Structure 1
Amino acid sequence: MENSDENGFCSVTGIYNSLFSSPPPHSSHPLSLPEFLLQHTPHRPSNPAFVDAFSDKTLTYADLTSLTAATASALLAAGVRRGDVVLLISPNSIYFPALSLGIMAAGAVFSTANHLLTRREIHAQVEDSRPVLILTTGELRAKFDGLNIPRPPVLIDQFLSTLVTPAADDDIALIDCRKIELDDAAVLMYSSGTTGRSKGVICTHRNLVYMAGVLRHVWGSTREDIYLCVVPLFHMFGFSVFVCGAVAAGAAVVVMQRYSLEGVLEAVERRGVTRIPAVPPMVVQLVRMVHVAGDYELKSLREVICSGAPLAKEHVDRFAACYPDITLSQCYGLTESSGPLTLCDGSEGRFNLSIGRLIPSIEAKIVDIRSGKSLPPNQNGELCVRGLPVMLGYLNNPEATSLAIDEEGWLHTGDLCYIDSRGLVYVVDRIKELIKYKAYQVAPAELEDILSTHPGVADVAVISYPDEEAGEIPMACVVRKAGFEIQKDELIAFVDDMVAPYKRIRRVMFVDYIPRSPSGKIIRRLLKDIDFLNQLTEILARL
């Protein structure tokens, strides 16, 4: 086979292989994720694992291990059994990792959700996942009112207060993890995926152990690293980087419950933060507010790692000019891939428009979206990946699973990409229809379903609209029903109360018809052309 050492492409198979060296084997015997992270990685028990950015409260690695074991014991005593789903809904906190790992150590499936979801959205997820236990905060408890669940939600503070943690000098065992198989479900996170509405993504212990080992291998087992956790832990990006990667590396993580630019800058200065995993709006704000950043000492910060959506060249260039001593890198991943699929580590230059190279041991193809053929370097096609981090499938949805993962095990990402002659991956566009609002996924189909119930709407389609700060915002293209004079603000307000803030309609465009294919599928590309013509007409009218 002709395999290029420079880009990892094999011209015979049409497959790209990773240019990173493979990580060493995790262990001579199978391990669950909690075992791998807390009993088979080199930690100093007294070192900080998670630190609250506001209160300075700290969990050492010894604390993390004992809390994980105590959580597992309490859940088993409460009747939670192997394979049961336990739902944890909470803002970021230093206890989130211990609770999630404790759920898995008990053999249960850890599930989570965005705490900004409405009652309607949370109820739909609970109906789908059927958790036997829900852990949440007092502020969020009301969102579960009226749910048909086996027992009322348990408040996290109360749950933690009842835990019996082992003494610091005890040999802490994470229950009897021999009953947990590597291919058992470990995590259930919800994603709109590549096909529209939200679905439960099942990731196994094998998926997550692999991801933890890869991140430690690529980023290094450097206990001196201090990460800042400001992206949500309920999202796979945050969970994989902080609960899997940082813990596997023995690093310290400073946790912010809510994002603010001043809070980020203060944490870097006070805590000596070395790395910040971020999303594009954070990078944009760092550039816009560089005059504020000048009041803080940021010399410890070596790298900002951006994910969630591609960064425009303009923002990369402006960041480079504003922060010449800080590396800005990008990575790319999916909930369905258990975390990052590409990383920029080792790429030349401090600022890179690429999303990096394929992580160790992963295979990829760039597939022509018309012919289905594998493409060589520097040609655009759909990115498809295969390997150990790819999910088990979607919960109770074999049809969606088969659409996402083909018979040969290739996960179709729905993203139009190319891989260059050096093996660097670039995102060109999205084939899938999801809208990325501040790195959150917004499914047009969900908003269309809501808007179609308005009595004044005859037909509707939702498309993305470019926005410098958010990346994209949802815009509704609406056909008015005859006899109704509905206004834009009315439609925006109609949706507001039914969805989480990040899903809200931000613009409305009235159209005469919604272009559809013979099968009834909305042709969103044509709607974007109509929007462009409308904007051009408005500009010409002002001249």
Structure 2
Amino acid sequence: MAHSPHPEVSVPDVSVYDYLFGGLGDADLDEVALIDGTSGAATTYRQLVGQVGLVAGALAARGVGVDDVVGILCPNVPAFAAVFHGILRAGATATTINSLYTPDEIVKQLTDAGSRWLFTVSPLLPGAKAAADRLGIPDEQLVVLDGAEGHPSLRDLLGEGRPAPDVSFDPATHMAVLPYSSGTTGIPKGVMLTHRNLVANVEQSRAVIGLEHGDRVLAVLPFFHIYGMTVLLNYALKCGATLVTMPRFDLQEFLRVISEHRATWVFIAPPIAVALAKHPLVDQYDLSSVQVVFSGAAPLDGALADLVARRLGCVVCQGYGMTETSPVTHAIPRERTDLDRSSIGFLLPNTEARIVDVDSGADVDVPADGQSAPGELLIRGPQVMHGYLHNPEATAAMLDPDGWLHTGDIATVTADGIYRIVDRLKELIKYKGYQVAPAVLEAVLLAHPKIADAAVIGVLDEDGQEVPKAFIVPQAGAELDAQAVMDYVAGEVSPYEKVRVVEFIDAIPKSSSGKILRKDLRAREATQA
């Protein structure tokens, strides 16, 4: 068992609202909390706190309180912050919904969460309305933030001028949010995260990541995902930073917003790193304000990170976590420029970890030099979820009686406490008895100058044996054939790791948080078989 090398932090026993906003002084309140990257409209901390209270008051007047769950189907706009924290301020639980969900998927999440309220925006209203109608949610409980006939708007709620209610609950046990796991390896499950889980993870992150008061943070990663929710919406606000919101990722708009609003921190997922490293459009914008690019949600290759750092003249860091850990468990501190960028850095304060052999379950020994043998990463700490909603079997499979959460990720660790993620346990390819990690091959492929993006899965050959197959998105105008790709990889990896099949496609399917959707690639294989 390993402990964090960082000193422990004290976790306040307070609600998320009190933790983020309770200690703000007059000078803090007059600073800018949020900027709409599209329009440039600014919201001060004073305005945000006022809106949060008014949303809470309007909800309380409608009977929404400690026993209720409220859905949010909304892209990254400043109003999201007011609604999200207004729900928590009212004592209710927020369940955040992927903006790309179909009505069927919205229905499933709201049903499982037990939500009878939904906040959305007019572009997403058709799907939200279809789901609400199927669930019998009345129009007055489907709030359209920017307004739609027959539905209350955010302006309506704020205009009522109702004071925030006095609510009482135990932050250690009361559920603040109910995000749903990505579903890339199974059916989405409601992850029960308490006020203490979220407060703890922000406090842990403050001790390591290095964001500072006055920084300008680009918020393109979705707030509905735990990464955006904790690291942007909560951590950045706690630091007194300014969030510059983007409702969706578009490379040209992304570069414009960074340049015009002088963003100092850019939180990304690895697919954005590929664009920053390789796309010619990057050279057309002044990105000199960027001091740190911080990647999470999926493994970032060290060579790719170095390309981004050199091109932008900034520090590139990587962190690790999952929805079930609120999410951050590891991070490379900003000042540790000596660390390999492909690592996920050190354990956060108050966090323990084990690496266990996949077959035997025994703890893997940490060597005096070099990296340990790979094994499944287990985590224990105050950021670990209380379990999956309505799913004791899945909870028991994920979280053991001693509080160890089984991440399903294969990791190594050095004697210095530096961790690396090798791959997902369920995504390892078994080639003639050898374990082949898709992420390793993807990193090799992405280093090829003619490859824009890549993904690897295991497929069956004519003998029914699993072999690595690469899906390749070539750079625009590049001439590349399958044999050239296989020859290139063969020159970079061990014989058993070679790519055996190549298919060229237009785009790699990915989740909103940047994870490769291997299940979609497997489904593609099944239809072609």
Q: Which residue of 2 aligns with 1:531?
A: none
Separation in 2 of the partners of 1:421 and 1:59? 46
Aligned partner of 2:179 among 183, 189, 192 = 189
Deviation at 1:166, TM superposition (A): 10
Q: Which residue of 1 aligns with 2:410?
A: 416
Residues 242-286 of structure 1: per-residue CA shift (max 9 Å, x gap): 121001111111101121222222222222211111001100001
Separation in 2 of the partners of 1:114 and 1:510? 26
Q: Which residue of 1 aligns with 2:525?
A: 509
- 1:349–1:130 Cα change, 3 Å: same
Q: Which residue of 1 aligns with 2:23?
A: 40
Aligned partner of 2:271 among 275, 281, 306 = 281
Structure 2 counterpart of 1:176, one-letter code: D
Separation in 1 of the partners of 2:327 and 2:453? 22
- 1:24–1:138 Cα change, 3 Å: same
Q: Which residue of 1 aligns with 2:72?
A: 88
Separation in 2 of the partners of 1:53 and 1:510? 41
Residues 128-173 of structure 1: per-residue CA shift (max 9 Å, x gap): 1120211112222222424123423221224311134799xxxx98
Separation in 2 of the partners of 1:234 and 1:94? 13
Structure 1 counterpart of 2:17, one-letter code: P
Q: Which residue of 2 aligns with 1:204?
A: 194
Q: Is 2:210 aligned against 1:226?
A: no
Residues 288-319 of structure 1: per-residue CA shift (max 9 Å, x gap): 11x42222222221110011111224423432
- 1:407–1:148 Cα change, 3 Å: same
Q: Which residue of 1 aligns with 2:233?
A: 243
Deviation at 1:509, TM superposition (A): 3.5
Is the contact between residue 80 and residue 132 of structure 1 (CA under 8 Å) also seen in structure 2?
A: no
Q: Which residue of 1 aligns with 2:465?
A: none
SS of corresponding position for 1:308 = coil
Aligned partner of 1:160 among 150, 154, 160 = 154
Q: Which residue of 1 aligns with 2:326?
A: 338
- 1:176–1:367 Cα change, 3 Å: same
1:29-428 alignment, distance < 5 Å: 30-40=13-23, 44-143=28-127, 144-145=129-130, 146-152=133-139, 153-158=142-147, 159-164=153-158, 175-179=165-169, 181-192=171-182, 196-220=186-210, 222-289=212-279, 291-323=280-312, 325-345=313-333, 346-349=335-338, 352-377=341-366, 378-428=372-422
Is there any run of 5+ residues in structure 2 with no aligned partner, and where? Answer: 148-152, 367-371, 430-437, 447-451, 463-510
Residues 346-387 of structure 1: per-residue CA shift (max 9 Å, x gap): 434276110111111101001111121112322211100001
CA RMSD of aligned residues (A): 3.1
Deviation at 1:70, TM superposition (A): 0.6
SS of corresponding position for 1:199 = coil
- 1:430–1:164 Cα change, 3 Å: closer
Separation in 2 of the partners of 1:118 and 1:138? 15
- 1:264–1:371 Cα change, 3 Å: same
TM-score where L is the length of structure 1: 0.75
Separation in 1 of the partners of 2:248 and 2:342? 28
Aligned partner of 1:472 among 455, 459, 474 = 455
- 1:434–1:373 Cα change, 3 Å: closer
- 1:166–1:222 Cα change, 3 Å: farther
SS of corresponding position for 2:361 = coil
Residues 206-261 of structure 1: per-residue CA shift (max 9 Å, x gap): 10011122223334572221110111111000101112100111111110112122
SS of corresponding position for 1:182 = coil
Q: Which residue of 1 aligns with 2:490?
A: none
Q: Which residue of 1 aligns with 2:426?
A: 432
- 1:31–1:173 Cα change, 3 Å: farther
Separation in 2 of the partners of 1:86 and 1:472? 36
- 1:512–1:78 Cα change, 3 Å: closer
Deviation at 1:24, TM superposition (A): 4.2
Larger displacement relative to structure 2 (268-277 or 138-147): 138-147
- 1:351–1:165 Cα change, 3 Å: farther
Separation in 2 of the partners of 1:511 and 1:97? 42
Is the contact between residue 269 and residue 296 of structure 1 (CA under 8 Å) also seen in structure 2?
A: yes
Aligned-residue identity in percent: 32
Is the contact between residue 225 and residue 274 of structure 1 (CA under 8 Å) also seen in structure 2?
A: yes
Is the contact between residue 278 and residue 307 of structure 1 (CA under 8 Å) also seen in structure 2?
A: yes
Separation in 2 of the partners of 1:180 and 1:77? 22
Structure 2 counterpart of 1:352, one-letter code: R
TM-score where L is the length of structure 2: 0.77
Is the contact between residue 339 and residue 345 of structure 2 (CA under 8 Å) also seen in structure 1?
A: no
Is the contact between residue 79 and residue 145 of structure 2 (CA under 8 Å) also seen in structure 1?
A: no
Q: Which residue of 2 aligns with 1:450?
A: none
Is the contact between residue 255 and residue 282 of structure 2 (CA under 8 Å) also seen in structure 1?
A: yes
Is the contact between residue 478 and residue 510 of structure 1 (CA under 8 Å) also seen in structure 2?
A: no
Larger displacement relative to structure 2 (364-373 or 383-392): 364-373
Separation in 2 of the partners of 1:87 and 1:253? 22
Structure 2 counterpart of 1:419, one-letter code: V
